[in-house]
Structure 1
Amino acid sequence: MKINLNFPSSFQIALLLSLIVYVLAVGFTLPTNESIFLYSFQVLKFWKSGFWELLEFTLQMILILVFGHTLAMSQPVDNFLDKVAFYVKTNTHAVLFTGGVSMAGGYLNWGFGLILGAVLARKIGEIATEKRLAVNYPLVAASGYLGMLVWHGGLSGSSTLKVAEENHFLMDKIGVVTINKTIFSDFNIWTNVVLILCLILLLLFLSKKPIDKQVEVTKNRSTKVVNESKDKLGYLIGLIILALSVSEFSKVYEEGWGFLDLNFVNFILLGLGLLAFGSLSRYVSSLSEAVRGATDILIQFPFYAGILGIMKYSGLLVLIADGIVQHSGPGSFPLFSFFSAAIINFFVPSGGGQWAIQGPVIVEAANQMNISVPNMIIAFAYGDQVSNMLQPFWALPLLAITGLSAKSLLGYTFYFFLIALLIFGISIWLFV
């Protein structure tokens, strides 16, 4: 007899986590001599208090996905991908080009890199079918997902950019942590360099393997962007935004990188998008299409904020942090945080949502053990991104564009996961 098991949706998981945290808070933080019934209602009030506290963060996460996604659908980007795909002559070319473009795009912006890699993989598959080139299409598509393995240590990392803002939700615990201590730290830069080099070698090795089955990819008009509108106001607004953004870089030598936060990145992405489309009407049309991919963030983030509200106001957060400190030390805690972030990512697939839940625990424990908070933020980022290679949530846009199944990608992304797990683990063990 066949048993059908349905894995819960990401929203159902958010609801389940809310219930679990609620029960834990009632069970472990109940004050002495207080009615459990009255306290249960009080914990619900904690949930309500936290529910809307991350609205700014929610909108920032939506915009960084939507603006990046929209930019990837613009005509200049589409033309660039056409040129890259045109020079593909072998399977090795296809795999390395797609992996390189995806990682470069993902480092700049995760939404941009995700769509960029998917569209390029599709274009290469179409050209390979048309020219009868022997190309391992599932491997090419898997290479197009590699941007999600470098994004959180890159320029659109949710946790690293959030803590670089004034008045972020952990401001009273750690102050402002500028990106020169996280994204541009020697620890993060050298870890990424080693990771990318090892991934390139792995792609080279895998691309030389015999191709079991050639996948036929028919022409898909949705991968071609056509700018039909003639209004050019987008150019003017885009140039103004980019000029204002570039002017901020003049402050780097005097004031450092404090200006580079989520709002600044979103401002640049908006300017680039408007400049790339030129037409306001065409930009808004593509923006409307990209917004659909942000639905999960929109509905789930308030529930993650509610979870944080329960943990913060009930005292469960401090209780968990104290427990971690008692059962781990400065030597083991960074690796513990890395592996736990990788596991939690299966249930909370949004880096921003996960930081809202796990970040306060990491910060509290790190402060108690006198461990570098910037390095712990990077360790968390590595854990969040490494299990993306096994987590199908963010692969859904790529699967839709390439027309492949998650199973066909997993056979290759599992190798990416193992290599990254080893590199991140060793790096954290040696330097945090």
Structure 2
Amino acid sequence: MSTATTRSAGSEKGLARVAQALARWTEKWFPDAYIFALAGVVIVALAALLNGSTPQDVADSFGNGFWDLTAFTLQMSMVVLTGYVVATSPPVAKLIARLARVPQTATTAVSFVAFLSMSVSFLNWGLSIVFGGLLARAIARRTDLRVDYRALGAAAFMGLGAVWALGLSSSAAQLQATAASLPPALLEVTGVLDFGKTIFTWQSLLTCAILIVLTTVIAHLSAPKGEAIRTATELGVDLDDTPEPASTRERPGEWLEYSPILPMLMGLLTAGWLVSQFVTKPFLSVISSLNGYLLVFLILGLVLHRTPRNFLQAVTKAVPATAGILVQFPLYAAMAAILTKAEGGSGTTLSEHLATFFTNIGAGGAFAVVIALYTVILGIFVPSGGGKWLVEAPYVMQSATDVEMNLGWTVQIYNIAEALPNLINPFFMLPLLAVLKLRARDLVGFTFLQFIIHLPVVLLLVWLLGMTFTFEPPVIPAPAPTAP
């Protein structure tokens, strides 16, 4: 670091100074996201052995669970790929470029990206992570505005680090609202909890609004200024998102490759499927479907690029950005399997021991705070969203019933706290890092600051707002009649 930069960093005040200190620390000491995943597997495996699991059980859990997130790995890779393809199409690139011209100062640019990222995340977290990253890149390309690219990237991640689980694509809320998706053991404890009892309660909406305002303010105040700013160019990031020049048809057999006919027909087919989904299924379940989102965005990218050849050129450029996801997600799947499947000498897993411990000390009014802390701690090691909820929910919700905590709010306690580990663990950061072409250490200094401030606020909110609820016994749906 140059002397001028050191003086400038030292002259920063308030949150900007704290963010700079954390950024310098993480740049020096924070490992690559893949190292974080490798170390996590080793730590969880050692903890399972200390819990009494045999080496064979730990090894079996590791190997058998290694590919448990295969579908999710593909989905996350497609989030990056479809986002790139759509955003680099001429119409969407122009829209993002217009939005990138809105902020007039470096600090407002950072807070602008954070606010839009969280707003979009309330609708769909997959869209948020690509939208935020591409908007950050577009702002960074401006020649009239010098903005810290690390802070822009961290702001783009705030949709995943603050409010994603409080929105329409909340995995836990979606699972609890769909009887067919709930395991029988959980259905017997909670019954079906529709959105009116979870994400659409005024307490949940108020929490979401508070976190959006708080996060935006922190992003604004912590954005580096002056010589402390490190631009994308200074970080060695290539910001060129220009698609390859369109090639020309050289032989008759390539006619369809350069024709918009097939893309338009695929667009009509997809539109027909989408209309059918809205007609036959609840509106919220359709707009919250990640698979549906990916299908629509993939075909939308094909239509917006007009010809199959242009579309394939965009895909080719996007594919390398998925490499980190493909090699890291299996490690998290293995970690989750060891934590939840390797039984110790007493026949219980590490996850069950943690749940029992936190639930036992969470009697009375402390239950909300204890469950939130438990979710944060476990989420650092198993950042799996809905999958982790399926593991936790049977005993967490049973404990909530025992202490007469409102079950819908218990789901939201999980959702509110679920986002916090994302500010530390780079699991869900990987698709954004691929878009930004940065490393986790470049962003964690800024996201860690958000975590430090968010944690006490979240604990206070779940405790205070939890007292406004009354306990409602679960309504268990009658089993479906069986054929005679």
TM-score bucket (shorter structure): 0.7 to 0.9
> Deviation digits for residues 182-210 of structure 1, max 9, x if unmatched?
33333322211121123333344446x74
In structure 2, distance between residues paired with 1:343 and 1:82: 39
Counterpart of 2:11 in structure 1 is none
Instruction: Note closer, same or farther for the CA distance 1:50–1:168 as it changes in structure 2 (3 Å cut).
Output: farther
Counterpart amino acid of 1:81? Answer: I
2:152 aligned with 1:140, yes or no?
A: yes
Counterpart of 2:140 in structure 1 is 125
Counterpart of 1:185 in structure 2 is 201
Instruction: Note closer, same or farther for the CA distance 1:261–1:159 as it changes in structure 2 (3 Å cut).
Output: farther
In structure 2, distance between residues paired with 1:203 and 1:222: 26
2:322 aligned with 1:304, yes or no?
A: no
- Which segment drifts farther, 364-373 or 334-343? 364-373
The Cα of 1:102 is off from its aligned counterpart by 1.9
The Cα of 1:410 is off from its aligned counterpart by 4.1
Q: Please list, as runs of the form range in 1=range in 2, the aligned pairs for 1:148-227 lying within 5 A after superposition.
A: 148-149=160-161, 150-168=163-181, 170-174=183-187, 175-206=191-222, 210-218=225-233, 220=238, 222-225=240-243
Is there any run of 5+ residues in structure 2 with no aligned partner, and where? 1-27, 247-256, 467-484
The Cα of 1:267 is off from its aligned counterpart by 1.3
Q: Given that residues 307 and 357 in structure 1 are in contact (C-alpha distance below 8 angstroms), is that contact kept between their aligned partners in structure 2?
A: no
Counterpart of 2:469 in structure 1 is none
In structure 1, distance between residues paired with 2:296 and 2:55: 47
Counterpart of 2:4 in structure 1 is none
2:75 aligned with 1:89, yes or no?
A: no
2:274 maps to which of 238, 241, 245: 245
2:347 aligned with 1:314, yes or no?
A: yes
Residue 148 of structure 1 aligns to a residue whose secondary structure is helix
Task: Give the percent of matched residue pairs that are identical in Structure 1 and Structure 2.
Answer: 23
In structure 1, distance between residues paired with 2:55 and 2:434: 44
Counterpart of 2:41 in structure 1 is 14
Counterpart of 1:272 in structure 2 is 297
Largest Rg, 1 or 2 = 2
- Which segment drifts farther, 195-204 or 328-337? 195-204
Q: Given that residues 152 and 158 in structure 1 are in contact (C-alpha distance below 8 angstroms), is that contact kept between their aligned partners in structure 2?
A: yes
- Which segment drifts farther, 232-241 or 380-389? 232-241
Instruction: Note closer, same or farther for the CA distance 1:108–1:69 as it changes in structure 2 (3 Å cut).
Output: farther
RMSD, aligned α-carbons:
4.0
In structure 2, distance between residues paired with 1:398 and 1:44: 32
The Cα of 1:284 is off from its aligned counterpart by 5.8
Instruction: Note closer, same or farther for the CA distance 1:201–1:327 as it changes in structure 2 (3 Å cut).
Output: closer
1:373 maps to which of 391, 401, 407: 407
Residue 227 of structure 2 aligns to a residue whose secondary structure is coil
Counterpart of 2:482 in structure 1 is none
> Deviation digits for residues 299-349 of structure 1, max 9, x if unmatched?
532552454334599344666555444322142122112122222333233
In structure 2, distance between residues paired with 1:6 and 1:284: 30
- Which segment drifts farther, 359-368 or 75-84? 359-368
- Which segment drifts farther, 142-151 or 182-191? 182-191
With normalisation by structure 1, the TM-score equals: 0.76
Residue 414 of structure 2 aligns to a residue whose secondary structure is helix
2:100 aligned with 1:66, yes or no?
A: no
Instruction: Note closer, same or farther for the CA distance 1:367–1:251 as it changes in structure 2 (3 Å cut).
Output: farther
The Cα of 1:400 is off from its aligned counterpart by 5.6
Instruction: Note closer, same or farther for the CA distance 1:245–1:163 as it changes in structure 2 (3 Å cut).
Output: farther
Counterpart of 2:458 in structure 1 is 424
Counterpart of 2:122 in structure 1 is 107
Residue 425 of structure 2 aligns to a residue whose secondary structure is coil
In structure 2, distance between residues paired with 1:431 and 1:61: 33
Counterpart of 1:362 in structure 2 is 396
Instruction: Note closer, same or farther for the CA distance 1:238–1:15 as it changes in structure 2 (3 Å cut).
Output: farther
2:325 aligned with 1:294, yes or no?
A: yes
